[in-house]
Amino acid sequence: MDDDEIMVHEDETVSIWTCRYAPDVVFAPHEHRMGVQIAVYRGAEVEVLYRREPGKLRHGGNHLVRAGDVARLGPQAIHAITADGDAPSIAIHVYEGPLTRIKRALFDWTSGEKIEFSMENFHAMARRKQDMEEFRG
Ligand SMILES: [Fe+2]
């Protein structure tokens, strides 16, 4: 495994995870339906941002979160996720609610159609960074 997401705490109000991402793999666009604070402490994590439009998922830019930075995504955010550069990123993600107890969605990379969130689907939909438009230019 070159990725690693571990839940270290969850209650009614907060979910705390440590997340390690490899720079060659991009995990599929998804929602959280709650805010999340992303505190990176090794490498740099890339938030690949999207918005849904009728029949498609539109790329809204990449946001780099470097070691020592804390970024917040709001409850409506849709992101795919990877690491920047040559090394994995490692971060603490603090979700502002009980993440595993809510229904949320993955989104088809092209059509933006909702797909039920499961770790199995999340991993199955991952893409190679080298194959993605979002990382060209
Ligand atoms: Fe996420």
Burial class (CB within 10 angstroms; exposed 0-12, middle 13-18, buried 19+) of 43: buried
pLDDT exceeds cutoff 70 at 28? yes
Q: Tokens 């194959």 correspond to what residue?
A: 131
Predicted local distance difference test score (pLDDT) of residue 98: 98
CA of 121 to the centre of ligand 1 (A): 14
CA of 79 to the centre of ligand 1 (A): 6
To the nearest whole number, what is the mean pLDDT of the chain? Answer: 96
- Of 122, 33, 112, 111, the C-alpha closest to 81 is 122
CA of 115 to the centre of ligand 1 (A): 15
Bin 66: left if φ > 0, else alpha if -120 < ψ < 50, else beta: beta
Q: DSSP strand E in 11-73: where?
A: 15-21, 25-31, 36-42, 44-53, 56-66, 70-73
Q: How confident is the model over 102-129, as a mean pLDDT?
A: 96
CA of 80 to the centre of ligand 1 (A): 7
Predicted local distance difference test score (pLDDT) of residue 3: 60
CA of 53 to the centre of ligand 1 (A): 20
Give the tokens for residue 14: 């907060």
Q: Mind listing the domains of the chain with CATH numbers?
A: 4-135 (2.60.120.10)
Q: What's the predicted TM-score (pTM) here?
A: 0.95
The vertex-82 CA angle with 101 and 37, nearest 5°, equals 50
pLDDT exceeds cutoff 90 at 137? no
Task: Give residue 58's pLDDT band: very low, low, confident or very high (50, 70, 90).
Answer: very high
